[in-house]
Structure 1
Amino acid sequence: MDQLSAMRAFVRVVQTGSFSATGREMNTSQTTISKKVAALEKKIGVKLLARSSRDHALTPAGAKYYQTCVDILGELDEAETEARSEVASPQGTVRISAPVAFGRILLAPIMAEFFQRYPDIKVDLRLSDRHTDLISDGIDVAIRARQLEDSTLVARHLFDNPMLVLAAPSYLDRNGTPKKPDDLTQHNCLIYSGMQEVNIWRFTKEDKEHSVAVSGNFQSDNGDVLLEVALTGMGIVILPIWMVESHIKAGRLKQIMSDYLGQNLPFNAVYLQSRYTPLKVRCLIDYLKDKLPST
């Protein structure tokens, strides 16, 4: 048995969640991948995957062995890269997960310069406002504006993410302008449904925290959609400054309650905790930290 090949197969089965997908990726059959994993289990004398007719999951021993395999294979890949050149040249595909608006507004414009700097790196960008699981989705780096929820992950701060309260001038002309958080209870608020506390908006003024339960006739789990609805004059919205700055300058949106600081959920680059972080991942995160806004 080629143990390294079996370890790579095992890691990709865990990351893709599928023997058949791993087989296609490695240009072989589902049966061959299954045999590799079975041979690996036999060699080390431990059951790595608990299989059923429809699914499989890591056993406790398999979870520990998976992380060990990731570390070992990563170090081998790094050693091979360094052996090819006196100066390691980052290469390979980096799989990134990011919110839709973040990818459109902030990532897309800086990709050309990234590829000029690192011509041997490829990027597979998956855009979704839903939470992604790095292992099961095979993600190298996830861009998230939330607190780190898993001790197996590492978060690298990219930039702060101040939220602004906004409305179209037409809405304010019809309904008046709220001055303080409690005034929002009398307004139609456009709600982002991707938060844990969907209807609670939080603010800070002079180090004092304020929270208010808001309501409205429209909610969405997509920030782009909320922005477009707000531009029609339908209600009040709370969005990050990088999404709305151009609309404020053009007069299409007006910031309100500017003396209250909206909740700040800094953007982080999140990746799996490991003794080894691939060079391609380190280069990408360093680049994002350098190029993204510092606000």
Structure 2
Amino acid sequence: MSAIRRLFMNDSRQLFSKLFMLAAAGACMHAAHAGSGMDEAAQRKQLIAGIGYVEPEYKGGMKFRTPDAIDGALVQELGKRLRLPVSTVRVAPDNAVAAIDAGKAHVVLAAVRDDAPVHRSANVIPLDYAVAPMAIMRTDTDIKNWAQLKGRKVCLSEGGLYVGTLAAQYGAVEIVKRAPADSLLAVRTGDCDAAVHDHTMLEELIKLPEWKKFSARLPVTAPRARLAFILPKSDTKTAAALTRVAKDWSTSRFPDHLVAKAVRHIAFEVYLDQDVPDCH
């Protein structure tokens, strides 16, 4: 056998060997992500949860800020029930199944409307907690309906569900703040004409006496979305576990208690930072 032929055969064997190893690795990865998300989390000893917005890592000197949504707190509670530490990653509802199949998350929690396309491609397990946009303003405002937000400064917060929608639908000038406390503070000081956040949070906030002068509201008109776990349709084991969790949270009204706690924190954050009087 010539040296050239032997060299060619050796190269061919190496090539086929590498291709076989790659194919085997791919099959193993597919098998790993085709099982139960809860089992994979247990094996990894960490639950990776996809949510709509991941808070920036806290660094020394930063002001503590309560986030716009409670989904982060909910997945942390889920981790406690599973006795697993939780890592969060940003995942949009429409990308939930793809993210889970790719091994980027074990479960996704997101706000989902009843007519959202994700219902056709995934198992959606709703929680007893709905959200929709609501605006609050000074009680002497001349803004009486959503259309009158055109050209007006409207404050929102990073990670909120409604960033971009007020400008698109009503021609509002959106001012995106770091967190709800910053958005609401801007309304109190006159830097914004209105603040738009989830109605669940704002309805709780305007019950507080110190918010009486800022309790004018534009009520909910958009369809509500419900927080829901999103899973591949094939993962029946995880679906059963999360259905039990959703039922328990509904019975105990756990999401409502989280909102009430968050509102108290947000109101206190505004109080600490307001170093100028309310706009008169």
Q: TM-score, normalised by structure 2?
A: 0.54
Q: Is the 8 A contact 2:131 2:198 kept in 1?
A: yes
Question: Secondary structure of the residue that 2:187 maps to in structure 1?
Answer: helix
Query: Distance between the aligned counterparts of 1:182 and 1:162, measured in 2?
Result: 17
Q: Is the 8 A contact 1:165 1:256 kept in 2?
A: yes
Q: Is the 8 A contact 1:95 1:124 kept in 2?
A: yes
AA matched with 1:216? V
Of 213, 226, 234, the residue aligned with 1:274 is 234
2:155 pairs with 1:190: yes
Query: Distance between the aligned counterparts of 1:76 and 1:166, measured in 2?
Result: 41
What's the counterpart of residue 97 of structure 1? 50
Of 84, 88, 99, the residue aligned with 1:122 is 84
AA matched with 1:144? A
What's the counterpart of residue 165 of structure 1? 135
What's the counterpart of residue 229 of structure 1? 186
Of 244, 261, 284, the residue aligned with 2:202 is 244
What's the counterpart of residue 138 of structure 1? 104
Q: Is the 8 A contact 1:141 1:269 kept in 2?
A: yes
Query: Distance between the aligned counterparts of 1:93 and 1:254, measured in 2?
Result: 42
Q: Is the 8 A contact 1:140 1:281 kept in 2?
A: no
AA matched with 1:240? D
Q: TM-score, normalised by structure 1?
A: 0.52
Q: Is the 8 A contact 1:156 1:268 kept in 2?
A: yes
Query: Distance between the aligned counterparts of 1:154 and 1:280, measured in 2?
Result: 13
Answer 1 or 2: which has greater strand percent.
1
AA matched with 2:217? I
2:217 pairs with 1:256: yes
* 1:269 CA drift (Å): 1.5
What's the counterpart of residue 51 of structure 1? none
Of 225, 248, 254, the residue aligned with 1:265 is 225
CA RMSD in angstroms, aligned pairs only: 4.7
AA matched with 2:146? P
2:125 pairs with 1:156: yes
Query: Distance between the aligned counterparts of 1:37 and 1:285, measured in 2?
Result: 45
Seen in structure 2, the aligned counterparts of structure 1 residues 197 and 257 have a Cα distance that, compared at 3 Å, is: closer
Segments of 5+ residues of structure 1 without an aligned counterpart are: 1-34, 49-61, 82-90, 202-210
> Identity of paired residues, percent?
10
Query: Distance between the aligned counterparts of 2:223 and 2:196, measured in 1?
Result: 9
Answer 1 or 2: which has greater helix percent.
2
